[in-house]
Structure 1
Amino acid sequence: MAIRSEPHWFKSSYSGGSGTECVECAHADGRLHVRDSKCVDGPVVAVRAQAWWAFIRALEGDSLAVG
């Protein structure tokens, strides 16, 4: 039987301090999970870790800028 890795959720460092726009992230099973911290039983977006870091690198390089 495979052991399932449970996500350990943490608040994004980019979330605002007012508590109204918090995003939580977690690493588990080779994926990055993102959810609304105000709705912990709601939907979760999960992407492969490699895809997430490619997205972050594209943001840092400004290659996703909309003209």
Structure 2
Amino acid sequence: MTTWIEGTGGLFDTAGCEPAAHLGTLGGEGLKHSTKILNGQLEEREAEIRYIKHGLAAEFGLTPYGTFRP
């Protein structure tokens, strides 16, 4: 069974391969575990985006709840 670790670049197996190469070989529990980790990473990235968006909105006097346009 593949052992997954969380690295600075994302989720990797212990051999250093990216997860897409092995998703087809995961069993049900392994897939659930990988999905849980990836969902957690997604939540973290979304929180980072909200933090940056609020900072930019405050700096430029915009609402952080709208769509930013260049």
Q: Given the two structures, how large is their TM-score scaled by the length of structure 2?
A: 0.29
- TM-score normalized with structure 1 length: 0.30
| Structure with greater proportional helix content | 2
Q: Highest CA radius of gyration, 1 or 2?
A: 2
